[in-house]
Amino acid sequence: MAASSPPHVVIFPFMAQGHTLPLLDISKALSFRGLKVTIITTPLNAPFIHSKVSDHISSISVSVIPFPIVPDLPQGCENTANLPSVSLDILASFITATKNMKQHFEALLKEMVETGSRPICVISDFFLYWTLDTCRSFNIPRVVSHGMGVLPMLILKHNSDPCKTSSEFDVIELPSLTLPFTLNGSDLPVCDPDDPFTRVILEVEEADKNSWGVIVNSFQELEGEYVTALEGLYYKEARAWCVGSVLLYDYIQEQSRASDGKSQSCGPYIEWLDKQEGTSVVIYVSFGTQARLSNEQMDEIAYGLEMAGQRFIWVVGSSGMWVPDEGWMRRVEGRGLVVRDWVDQRSILAHPKVGGFVSHCGWNSVLESLSMGVPLLAWPIEAEQPLNAKFVAMGLKAGLMVSEERVKTIDRHVICDGVKELMESEKGKSARERARELGTMAWNAVKKGGSSDEKLDELINRLIDIKRD
């Protein structure tokens, strides 16, 4: 291999949109720095990934390996969005099935090494825990990606007995860790020591702790005070590298290419936003690709939005079987837009007409919203989302909680009051100002000389030095 050949990084995302997108952003950030990137995925996930990196074909390639056929999963199910249910047992089967990709992964790395394109590291999703053994066999550092922020990751790892039974109202104290909010039993994922998902997570956690390092989609100014504590939970002096908000690397490149500095994204929902008068006047509602709300809850959201009287864009998403009544559609016509297709969420949040985001508080959505200076009305549903929601509302003060009670169905009046408070009240105004401050910090972090820009350079240089040794 010629001495001038660029450093090579392999990126292996878990087959879920929320896990894949930030790693695609990291792929682009590495390619902007002149690195060669290979993304590993499966046949049915490849078209989506190709569509996201098609402008970088000279530096980013996609290698496809087969997804295994296993009895517990429907044939052709290669992404968590296509799982027949949201049960943890099914998710455990899906994660376990990926282990059957190990032989193909090893063959790919072997070919890279033999052809003189040895990677300086493999950036692997934490659910693909089995990649650690393969990386070790080739003496290639494994850098793990969680898709979570530093603080929620720290809390989940610090909670040394996750399966300890506790009431949802119990206050949980974590030794030597000061939190910016009260941690209750209801904020942590439900855990059963006998279920398949818990057994998988124990394997995942062991591989995670033994990885060379962890790459985090966050930035020093947002969560820097928790980084040292997180690193202390890893073995062999592993480092946590905060290189986010990773979506902004691409935005900066777009702005340098476009004379007007505007996003090139378009669609019916952007055209609708363009027609609205004023700024920060539309509230955006979306619960991500995985959440599946009941028809009863969808009705409550619909009537809550109507009662609030605000202009809104509501992405129905995976709750696509829900159909609103015709009377409601007539009453909100002109001030509300219901979207059933996939949307470019980032372009919506970047639009100056959007002034709030009703969100499940997945970490990607939190960072996308804050990076664009948009406050959140936090409505956590599962996983670490309650931690993200409390961090945003109580720690960062860049949003409000739709409700502090974890109930099966949130009433329309509660939804109405939350939307109006975010969009009209002094509390909402304060949250919006704080979100804009954090947005400025996020952009500065990824600019030349910013904290995330320097951390990414530091990570690359450290890996190159290891390869030389």
Residues designated as active site: 19, 125
Distance CA(434)–CA(94), nearest Å, equals: 39
Q: How far is CA 31 from CA 6, 55, 295, in A?
A: 10, 11, 44
Nearest residue to 15 via CA among 23, 7, 5? 23
Task: Let me know how long the chain is.
Answer: 469
Tokens of 284: 């955006």
On whether the CB atoms of residues 463 and 426 are closer than 8 A, the answer is no
Query: Under DSSP, is residue 63 helix (H, G, I), strand (E, B) or coil?
Result: strand
Contact 217, 245 (CB under 8 A): yes
Query: How many Cα atoms within 13 Å fall on the side-chain side of residue 455?
Result: 25
3-state per-residue secondary structure call for 336-350: EEEECCCCCHHHHHC
Q: Contact, 34 vs 56, CB < 8 A?
A: no
Q: What is d(CA 319, CA 298) in angstroms, rounded to the nearest whole number?
A: 8
360 three-state secondary structure: coil
Q: State both tokens at 243.
A: 């290189």
Strands 36-41 and 121-125 turn out to be unpaired
- What is the widest separation between alpha-carbon atoms in the chain? 70
